[in-house]
């Protein structure tokens, strides 16, 4: 999923201060799972903002909504009934959701309330870790299901480097060496021969080297 973290409250306040009526929009997808911008976080942020402005002797009107998916125009359409009553939109979705709203409601300023972080997985309760860089040419099939692009600090395709120590990366004792993980995994699977194959320099075009990427499915397009 796409992970996110709420922005510092001061930054959000600076965005919305010029406005009196705010439409605060959450998303039921990834940001709900990582507890950054779901219905619950929308409520908490609205309370925090109301409290802040009340302390300043000012009342602002915050309308709370949480869409099923903010990155989908079909669901973003649900804001139509509320949009005229808002001076600005504050989105708690990832950057994809913010931009979908900005594209649909061009006449309203849209501000992000979260920082979109990475494509990751839940490691334990309250901990999410980066697992995918979206390089567009997945090599997990030859690296034992562990991605060196996302998990090796140097993105090495033929590792490990000299900075590996007892299975950990030199950048931090908390970061596992991706190539040690790959080796151990391949060994366990009896696929050590894959480790010995030298990977060629990666083609970065599918990773966006040629500009913003797009998927067109002719069979699904209208």
Binding site for another protein (CB under 8 A): 201-205, 207-211
Which is closer to another protein, CB of 200 or CB of 219?
200
Task: Give the list of residues 6+ apart from residue 35 with CB closer than 8 angstroms, or none.
Answer: 41, 126
Whole-number minimum distance, CB 154 to another protein, in Å? 12
Shortest spacing between CB 212 and another protein, in angstroms:
11
Closer to another protein by Cβ: residue 13 or 157? 157
Residue 114 buriedness (CB in 10 A; 0-12 / 13-18 / 19+):
buried
> Measured from the CB of residue 1, what is the shortest distance to another protein in angstroms?
25
Name every residue whose Cβ is closer than 8 Å to that of residue 162 and which is 6 or more positions away in sequence. Answer: none
Of 83 and 207, which has the nearer Cβ to another protein?
207
CB 211 to another protein: min, Å: 6
Measured between alpha carbons, how far is 90 from 108 in angstroms, rounded to an integer? 10
**Rg for the chain (alpha carbons), in Å?**
22
Residue number with CB closer to another protein (163 or 209): 209
* Least distance from another protein to the Cβ atom of residue 171, Å: 17
What is the C-alpha separation between 198 and 142, in angstroms, rounded? 11
H/E segment holding residue 95: helix 95-104
Question: Which two structure tokens, joined as six digits, stand for 140?
Answer: 């997990």
In 3-state terms the chain splits into helix, strand, coil percentages (rounded to 5) of 35, 20, 45
Pick between residue 187 and residue 213 the one whose CB is nearest to another protein: 213
C-beta of 208: minimal distance to another protein in Å? 8
Q: Are 29 and 37 in contact (CB under 8 A)?
A: no
**With respect to another protein, which residue has the nearer C-beta, 88 or 207?**
207
165: which strand partners? 168
């Amino acid at each position: 999923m796409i992970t996110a973290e709420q922005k510092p409250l001061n930054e959000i306040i600076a965005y919305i201060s010029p406005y009196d009526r705010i439409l605060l929009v959450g998303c039921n997808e990834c940001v709900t799972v990582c507890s950054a911008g779901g219905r619950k976080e929308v409520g908490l942020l609205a309370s925090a903002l109301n409290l802040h402005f009340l302390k300043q002797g000012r009342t602002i009107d915050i309308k709370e909504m949480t869409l099923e998916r903010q990155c989908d125009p079909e669901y973003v359409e649900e804001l139509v009934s509320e949009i005229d009553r808002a001076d600005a939109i504050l989105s708690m979705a990832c950057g994809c959701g913010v931009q979908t709203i900005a594209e649909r409601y061009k006449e309203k300023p849209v501000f992000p309330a979260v920082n979109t972080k990475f494509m990751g997985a839940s490691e334990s309760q309250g901990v999410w870790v980066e697992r995918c860089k979206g390089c567009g040419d997945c090599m997990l099939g030859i690296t034992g299901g562990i991605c060196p692009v996302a998990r090796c600090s140097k993105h090495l395709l033929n590792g490990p480097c000299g900075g590996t120590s007892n299975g950990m990366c030199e950048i931090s004792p908390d970061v596992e060496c991706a190539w040690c993980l790959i080796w151990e995994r391949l060994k366990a699977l009896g696929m050590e021969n894959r480790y010995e194959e030298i990977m060629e320099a990666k083609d970065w075009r599918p990773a966006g080297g040629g500009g913003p990427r797009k998927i067109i499915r002719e069979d699904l397009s209208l």
